[in-house]
Amino acid sequence: MLRLRTFLQQHCDNAELIDVIDQLAVTCKDIAHQLTLGDLAGILGSAEQENVQGECQKKLDVIANDLLKDSLAALPAVRGIASEEEPDPVACNKNGAYLVLFDPLDGSSNIDINVTVGTIFSILAAPEGSHGSDEAAYLQPGNQQVAAGYVLYGPSTIMMLTTGNGVYSFTLDTRMGEFLLMKENIQVPAATAEFAINMSNQRFWLPEMQQYVDDLLKGETGPLGKRYNMRWVAAMVAEIHRILTRGGIFLYPFDNRDPAKPGKLRLMYEANPMSMLMEQAGGRCSTASEAIMAIQPQGIHQRVSVVMGSAEEVSIVEQYHH
Residues near Mn ion, by CB under 5 A: 84, 103, 105-106
Hey, CA dihedral for 243, 164, 29, 6, is it positive or negative?
Answer: positive
Number of residues that bind ligand AHG (CB under 6 A): 13
| C-beta neighbour count of 36 within 10 angstroms | 12
Using CB under 6 A, which of the segments 73-81, 107-115, 180-188, 217-225 binds ligand AHG?
A: 107-115
Residue 69 vs 321, nearer CB to Mn ion: 69
Decide if residue 303 touches ligand AHG (CB under 6 A).
no
CA-wise closest residue to 273 among 85, 107, 97, 124: 124
The binder of 241, among ligand AHG, Mn ion, none, by C-beta within 5 to 8 A per type, is: none
Amino acid at 17: L
State the minimum distance, in angstroms, from the CB of residue 15 to ligand AHG: 31
Ordered alpha helix ranges (H), 57-116:
59-73
Distance in angstroms (rounded) separating the CA atoms of residues 319 and 124:
32
Distance in angstroms (rounded) separating the CA atoms of residues 309 and 245:
11
The binder of 264, among ligand AHG, Mn ion, none, by C-beta within 5 to 8 A per type, is: ligand AHG
Do residues 171 and 158 lie in contact, with contact meaning Cβ atoms separated by under 8 Å?
yes
Decide if residue 264 touches ligand AHG (CB under 6 A).
yes
State the minimum distance, in angstroms, from the CB of residue 302 to ligand AHG: 14
Q: What percent helix, strand, coil does the chain show, rounded to 5?
A: 40, 25, 35
The binder of 72, among ligand AHG, Mn ion, none, by C-beta within 5 to 8 A per type, is: none
Among 107, 149, 248, 283, binds ligand AHG (CB under 6 A): 107
Decide if residue 274 touches ligand AHG (CB under 6 A).
no
Residue 105 vs 124, nearer CB to Mn ion: 105
State the minimum distance, in angstroms, from the CB of residue 55 to Mn ion: 8
Decide if residue 234 touches ligand AHG (CB under 6 A).
yes
| C-beta neighbour count of 19 within 10 angstroms | 19
Residue 55 vs 312, nearer CB to ligand AHG: 55
CA-wise closest residue to 11 among 148, 163, 158: 163
Distance in angstroms (rounded) separating the CA atoms of residues 227 and 296:
37
Among 7, 59, 64, 106, binds ligand AHG (CB under 6 A): 106
Q: Measured at the alpha carbon of residue 271, what is the angle toward residues 266 and 272, in degrees to the nearest 5?
A: 115
The binder of 198, among Mn ion, ligand AHG, none, by C-beta within 5 to 8 A per type, is: ligand AHG
Residues of the shown chain interacting with ligand AHG in the complex, contacts defined by CB under 6 A: 55, 84, 103, 106-109, 198, 234-236, 252, 264
